[in-house]
Amino acid sequence: MWPKSFLVLAFLAHITSSTSVIKSSDEFRSDCRALASYLNIPHGNVSSSSLVTTGTTLQFPNSDQTCNRPSQTVSVDLCRVELTIATSNRSSISMEAWLPANWTGRFLSTGNGGLGGCIQYEDIEYGASLGFATVGTNNGHDGMTGESFLDNADVVEDFAYRALHIGVVIGKKISASFYGSEHSKSYYLGCSTGGRQGMKEAQTFPDDFDGIVAGAPAMAFNNLTSWSSRFLPLTGLPGSPTFIPLDMWPIIAQDILDQCDDNDGVSDGIMESPDLCDYNPKALSCGVSENATNCLTTQQLQTIKSIYSPLLDANRDLVYPRLQPGAELLGVPQTYFTGQPFGASDWFKYAIFNDPNWDPMSLVPADYVLSSTMNRFNIETWDGDLSAFQKKGGKLLHYHGLADPVISSENSPRYHQHVLNTMGLSSAELDEFYRYFAVSGMAHCGGGPGAANIGNSARNSVSLDPQENVLMRMVEWVENDNAPETITGIALVNGTLGSGIAFKRNHCKWPARNHYRGSGDPNNADSWKCIWGREECCCWYGGILFCCGVSNEKKMQNHDFVEQLDHRPSRAAWNQS
């Protein structure tokens, strides 16, 4: 396997834009040092512009400890610009622009995670290493908590949309000032909250980017925080009758695989269609005595059923889809099921109730409605009309791991369908600018047992081949009009690059599903196919089963969802359909 440094150099030699600017070493050094002195940023303060050479490990001693980013190694020569920008008389953003010596003429903005106010240096470095002039912000506050939201709507507004947009506008100005020319194309890369930020940009600021890569987006934000915060009162505290001991989760996970792993044609520990899994935990019941071990009591069984059911409010209206089966051992016990408050409850504490003493155990359905109704600065990020982005010529690549333990993967196709309905487009028409890919076996933004390395971050980048790297695939789509039909993911032996490649899998463009052909090595990508047939084209959102109304594969190329079934068929009936 080629070393990463060789792959980067080969990639840059292949894709360098005709508008790129390559400065001599002396010119690059002197221009970088002078940049801070002449940059004029409205309401901004440029603290420094400094040369960073290949192999340098930058230290961030003043970084908030909750950001867990004490340092970052840099793999290319670049000019690092540090600045702050006031967004009001009581709020500001911190941002950085990393301007590589091997600039390709492209601009890239990165996003954030959770409720975080953390510059994701690893993502900025990833973009800069590939020749993008790359920026990132702290999202308007420091640290991973929501404490800064307390009694400060301006900080909430920065978090909802403003910090990233201002960072893009200012970042483009910095890039043009330094290189002496405008960028050729602009791109965005983010996951989780970063995915929501990318979607917000497409919805609200369509001129900011030519191409957006948005992963596991925290859309339906108010409802997502209701769903994730509700797990604590659902499970209760450790030792309560409703709480499921952590050592039961491996047993539950295996029970789910036993029931649903072969829905995609083969049992391999990876579910290609967890939305088709109608999990029934009755086999784990302790029975009448409820004194057995390695089993679930009646109350615990009800907890499990609630976890794998959509969350409804008091009026039985959908709040948020269920947790998809298959994420049980990919971080869920360490996040939602420990009997501890999840970080998203800070949104209620500081942004909704403005009460630092609010008890996360007190969350009730009326609070879901309150948060959704307030929808502070339209943070819901659920606008279905992307026509301005479409007319601008923008491209949107949306992906979501099907084993995501933090944000339900069943919410992503729900938004895709919402855009179809809102804009009145066929799937083929939507495909012209917006494509969604479900990545089997991927946990939250990476990791998991599947072929989850798709180049969405440096740690998930094994290849710079556009077919195997979503950022490079977006460049292909925007600049060469080469739209992706599949995204090829890579699984590594023991999860480490040095151990070699375990297998690859081609992840399908929604609503097609990956299905085993019935013969051949399941670890061979060619042993799978993207299917448009009726049975394989059904999925659940919000407790409703949507199925393709046409089974002919050719006709399905322009399919629309036309059938809704209010009752889930039994497994036997499903297999006979």
Residue bearing tokens 């020319």: 181
> How many degrees, rounded to 5, is the angle at CA 277 between CA 272 and CA 279?
140
C-alpha of 99 from chain center: 25
Find residue 100's DSSP bridge partners.
78
Query: Would you please indicate which residues are annotated as catalytic (active-site) residues?
Result: 192, 404, 444
Contact status, residue 25 vs residue 53, Cβ threshold 8 Å = no
Q: How far is CA 189 from CA 123, 354, 373, 385, 501, in A?
A: 8, 32, 29, 21, 25
Taken as a whole, the chain contains a residue count of: 577
Q: How far is CA 31 from CA 49, 167, 490, in A?
A: 9, 22, 40
Quickly list DSSP for 25-78: HHHHHHHHHHHHHH---TTEEEEEEEEE-TT-EEE-TTS-GGG---EEE--S-E
- How far apart CA 298 and CA 304 sit, in angstroms, is 10
Find residue 72's DSSP bridge partners.
58
Contact status, residue 246 vs residue 338, Cβ threshold 8 Å = yes
Token pair of 345 as six digits: 């409850």
- How far apart CA 190 and CA 445 sit, in angstroms, is 9
C-alpha of 485 from chain center: 19
Find residue 540's DSSP bridge partners.
545
Q: How far is CA 501 from CA 351, 401, 444, 471, 564, in A?
A: 45, 19, 21, 20, 41
Token pair of 267 as six digits: 């049992």
